[in-house]
């Protein structure tokens, strides 16, 4: 039988205020409750250990040993059932598995009207009200008073859980889980869709059909919307992580020649200027960090081939918006496709909104059912490992498990 030291009190196997043995390894009240680790102890051993502890005079006051054992077992059964507040959008087998692991309060933030995003104080209050010891979030900010609660784990359905104060969680001894690459295929597919829409003038063609202007100004669509084929064209992928890789093989399947740049990935190229200068399509997929904010600016747009196309389905802060507008207005670039904007929207009357050679989508790269399914499965799998005493695959702060 494996036993744990209490992470909140630091009590060892023989030092807990009530029984000396922590129930789960993450103390729910500040003192050990039952003395039996349910994550590692077989149910058949409960009575044996309870009898030993009762014989030492450590269980029960004024009750028989059998009464104490029965009460202890019932208490253990109640406390081993965790409760999860889930505000992330989830679906599929992973959500079903999570419901088997814990009692789930499921209130996805995307289905609230109006949208509900908790800050640290509000989330802590809600967790306390629900008596939840697991939080699964996507957009909520997890910080401050949340770390005062006796949580088993916080899971964020994001590749980079930048909405979670990981340092605070680590100080509190609370594991933080993430879901890397859950949306990689979705973002790659949207990027491909934007490229095709630009190459074949899909949006202006759609507009003419809807407005009954197929023969606008006495011309035929074949004249106005003559496009280019992707096969044989060259693409530069800037940032060769999960999304960049997912896009690369899709473009290669269409016959494109793909070059990459990522100084942190060994198999990627290390000369951004060279790959950009040779590309017909340049697509950004770098992580947004202090080192990459605004890294693609006036100079980098000037490197691009005349008539080439620019894509950014990562984060708007990676490129200089004014420089992009200037490159489009001058005709140096033939088009652009964007899926993210600072503050999530463009200002009214922004130049990009009147350009027919620009495709704009409202940060929907990861908005697929499969993304939600993968996120749910990854969270449930890691929680199962954690609750069984193991080390989850996607834990951000594994050092807390050694405390």
Q: How far apart are CA 234 and CA 257, in angstroms?
A: 5
Q: Which position among 363, 370, 373, 384 bears the catalytic label? A: 363
Q: What is the DSSP string of 302-333?
A: HHSPTTEEEEE-S-GGGB-HHHHHHHHHTTSE
Asked if residues 17 and 35 have their Cβ atoms less than 8 Å apart, the reply is no
Beta-carbon contacts of 26 under 8 Å, excluding residues fewer than 6 positions away, are: 7, 8, 133, 150, 151, 152, 173, 174
Per DSSP, the three-state class of 275 is helix
Closest CA to 377 of 72, 144, 50, 91: 91
Can you tell me which residue has the tokens 């957009």? 139
The H or E element that residue 283 is part of is strand 281-284
Angle at 94 between CA 88 and CA 99, to 5 degrees: 80
267 is catalytic: no
342 is catalytic: no
Per DSSP, the three-state class of 155 is strand
Asked if residues 359 and 310 have their Cβ atoms less than 8 Å apart, the reply is no
Beta-carbon contacts of 110 under 8 Å, excluding residues fewer than 6 positions away, are: 89
Q: How far apart are CA 25 and CA 382, in angstroms?
A: 17
Closest CA to 85 of 153, 27, 23, 143: 153
Q: Which position among 315, 319, 340, 374 bears the catalytic label? A: 315
363 is catalytic: yes
Provide Rg for the chain, Cα atoms. 27
The H or E element that residue 68 is part of is helix 65-79
Known catalytic residues are 315, 344, 363
């Amino acid at each position: 039988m494996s036993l744990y030291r209490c992470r909140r009190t630091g009590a060892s196997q023989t030092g807990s205020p009530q029984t000396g043995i922590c129930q789960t390894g993450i103390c729910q009240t500040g003192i050990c409750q039952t003395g039996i680790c349910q994550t590692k102890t077989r149910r058949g051993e409960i009575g044996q250990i309870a009898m030993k502890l009762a014989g030492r005079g450590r269980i029960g006051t004024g009750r028989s040993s059998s009464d104490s054992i029965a009460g202890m077992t019932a208490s253990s059964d109640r406390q081993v059932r965790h409760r999860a507040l889930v505000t992330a959008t989830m679906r599929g087998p992973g959500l079903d598995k999570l419901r088997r692991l814990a009692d789930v309060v499921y209130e996805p933030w995307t289905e609230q009207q109006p949208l509900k995003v908790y800050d640290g104080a509000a989330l802590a209050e809600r967790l306390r009200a629900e008596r939840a010891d697991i939080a699964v979030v996507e957009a909520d900010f997890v910080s401050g008073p949340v770390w005062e609660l006796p949580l088993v784990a916080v899971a964020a359905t994001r590749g980079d859980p930048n909405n979670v104060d990981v340092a605070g969680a680590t100080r509190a001894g609370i594991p933080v889980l993430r879901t890397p690459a859950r949306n990689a295929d979705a973002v790659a597919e949207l990027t491909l869709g934007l490229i095709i829409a630009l190459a074949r003038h899909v949006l202006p063609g759609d507009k003419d059909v809807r407005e009954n202007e197929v023969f606008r100004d006495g011309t035929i669509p074949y004249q106005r919307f003559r496009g280019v084929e992707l096969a044989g064209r060259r693409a530069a992928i800037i940032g060769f992580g999960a999304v960049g890789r997912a896009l690369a093989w899709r473009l290669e399947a269409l016959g494109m020649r793909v070059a990459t740049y990522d100084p942190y990935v060994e198999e990627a190229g290390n000369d951004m200027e060279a790959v950009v200068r040779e590309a017909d399509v340049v697509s950004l997929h770098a992580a947004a960090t202090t080192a990459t904010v605004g890294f693609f600016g006036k100079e980098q747009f000037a490197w691009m081939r005349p008539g080439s196309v620019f894509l950014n389905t990562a984060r708007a802060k990676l490129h200089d918006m004014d420089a992009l507008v200037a490159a489009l207005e001058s005709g140096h670039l033939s088009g652009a496709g964007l899926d993210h904007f600072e503050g999530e929207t463009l200002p009214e009357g922004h130049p990009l909104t009147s350009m027919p050679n620009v495709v704009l989508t409202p940060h929907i790269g990861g908005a697929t059912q499969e993304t939600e399914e993968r996120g749910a499965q990854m969270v449930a799998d890691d929680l199962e490992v954690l609750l069984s005493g193991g080390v989850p695959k996607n834990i951000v702060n594994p050092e807390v498990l050694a405390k």
